[in-house]
Amino acid sequence: MKKTIDDLQLNGKKVLIRVDFNVPIKNGKITSLKRIISSLPTIKKVINEGGKAIVFSHLGRIKEEADKEKKSLEIVAIELSKQLNQEVIFINETRGKKLEKAIDKMKNGQILLFENTRFEDLNDKAESKNNPELGKYWASLGDVFINDAFGTAHRAHASNVGIASNIKESAMGYLLEKEVSALSKVLDKPERPFVAIIGGAKISDKIGVVSSLLEKADKVIIGGGMAYTFNKALGFNIGNSLVEEDKIDLAKEYLEKYKDKIVLPVDHATGKSFEDQERIVNKNNPLQILDGTMGLDIDKYSIELFKKELENAKTVLWNGPMGVTEFSNFKYGTEEVAKAIYKLSDAYSVIGGGDSVAAVESLGFEQAFSHVSTGGGASIEFLEGKELPGIKSIQDK
């Protein structure tokens, strides 16, 4: 068991908190406050207990000097201050005298946010490559370290693993703890029947998670682009749909070994090109995709089939969309799956992956899910059964 924030004595301590403030920004405005709001319980706990909260995060990718202008965390400091209804000291540096002095001057219960950790990537990728000197330096700024950024837990960066390896005491924040416990519940002790729904474009992106879930779940529903590779493996016509030729043998292997578990779409909504257009459905033979068209979503028979598989589920895990959700005509399948899970009153349901989460949010269904995961790649690697470096580096109880 890893230490959690509740195991720490925080009063009077300089508490380094790695959060995930990698928020979407459009025309100088933050378009979703979800990540900021998710971090509040941990930050509030530190300041309410008289700790000095030294908060930091990455924001986007920094490849050249010009990127810094649009990727400053100052805009987040202003929003965080509003959310907490107290001053947030913002330091526009990632190291140096100005930052050190500001931390030294902090009083108990104050909050300081320093600049985007990825600004250090201009210094030979010091953050992303976990430069030992940088991790040691950041660790020297505090007494204890709390990691509350699940979104980057699958990466060994200076701002998570680097600090944790160089500080006397480290623990998980509330958000990280919540993610680990929700995903562990699905993997380790799922109430059955356990139905997993995996979507998204490619098998290669999710090979590990598909194999892991085929072992653990009672049924695995496969939708999205990866379904066409499975359909081709079964000998169906898939037209111009996305296919991974080098994964057809693997799909055949899965279909043989887990034929009673895998559930595939039985009809398709297609288009003539990869853009939003009217849905074309092969009414005579729904399983076959017409030549000259490409699959862009599932259609009504698949939705009925998937709903039937979900009916008695006690544990549901959903990761990845059923179609191209950025096209308004092809988000129908994803939204219908969201509605089907929404209606399950006594199932433990967990959702992860940007597009499926976005579909659930746009329908206002977040409250119906037992857990909405904040980490894309991190939740996938966790579900594959991998140990995530950002979690592994935290001290055990």
Residues within the annotated binding site? 20-22, 35, 58-61, 118, 155, 206, 295, 326, 353-356
Compute the distance between CA of residue 132 and CA of residue 168 in angstroms, rounded to an integer: 16
Alpha helices in 315-353, H assignment, sequence order: 332-342
Q: Which of 232, 197, 180 is nearest to 387 (CA)?
A: 180
Q: How many CB atoms lie within 10 A of CB 266?
A: 17
SS3 71: coil
Task: List the binding residues for substrate.
Answer: 20-22, 35, 58-61, 118, 155
The partner residues of 29 in beta bridges, in order of sequence, read 26
Ramachandran bin of 109, using left for φ above 0, alpha for ψ from -120 to 50, beta for the remaining angles:
left
**Lateral strand order in the sheet of 371-372:** 262-263, 219-222, 194-198, 315-319, 348-352, 371-372
Phi, psi of 353 (to 5 degrees): 95, 130
Query: What's at 172, amino acid-wise?
Result: M
Q: Catalytic residue at 202?
A: yes
For residues 127 and 100, is the Cβ–Cβ distance under 8 A?
no
Catalytic residue among 12, 50, 354, 385: 354
> In the numeric block, which tokens belong to residue 226?
């990866």
Q: Catalytic residue at 377?
A: yes
Give, for 218, the enclosing helix (H) or strand (E). none
Angle between helices 332-342 and 300-310 (to 10 degrees): 20
Task: List the binding residues for ATP.
Answer: 206, 295, 326, 353-356
CA distances from 207 to 198, 203, 217, 273 (A): 11, 5, 15, 27
Angle between helices 34-48 and 74-84 (to 10 degrees): 60
Q: How many CA atoms lie within 13 A of 290 on its CB side?
A: 14
Catalytic residue among 35, 52, 178, 261: 35
Compute the distance between CA of residue 241 and CA of residue 232 in angstroms, rounded to an integer: 10
Compute the distance between CA of residue 183 and CA of residue 150 in angstroms, rounded to an integer: 12
Catalytic residue among 14, 34, 95, 202: 202
Strands 262-263, 219-222: pairing is parallel
Compute the distance between CA of residue 252 and CA of residue 254 in angstroms, rounded to an integer: 5
Q: Catalytic residue at 35?
A: yes
Catalytic residue among 109, 208, 376, 377: 377
Q: Catalytic residue at 354?
A: yes
Positions annotated as catalytic residues are: 35, 202, 354, 377
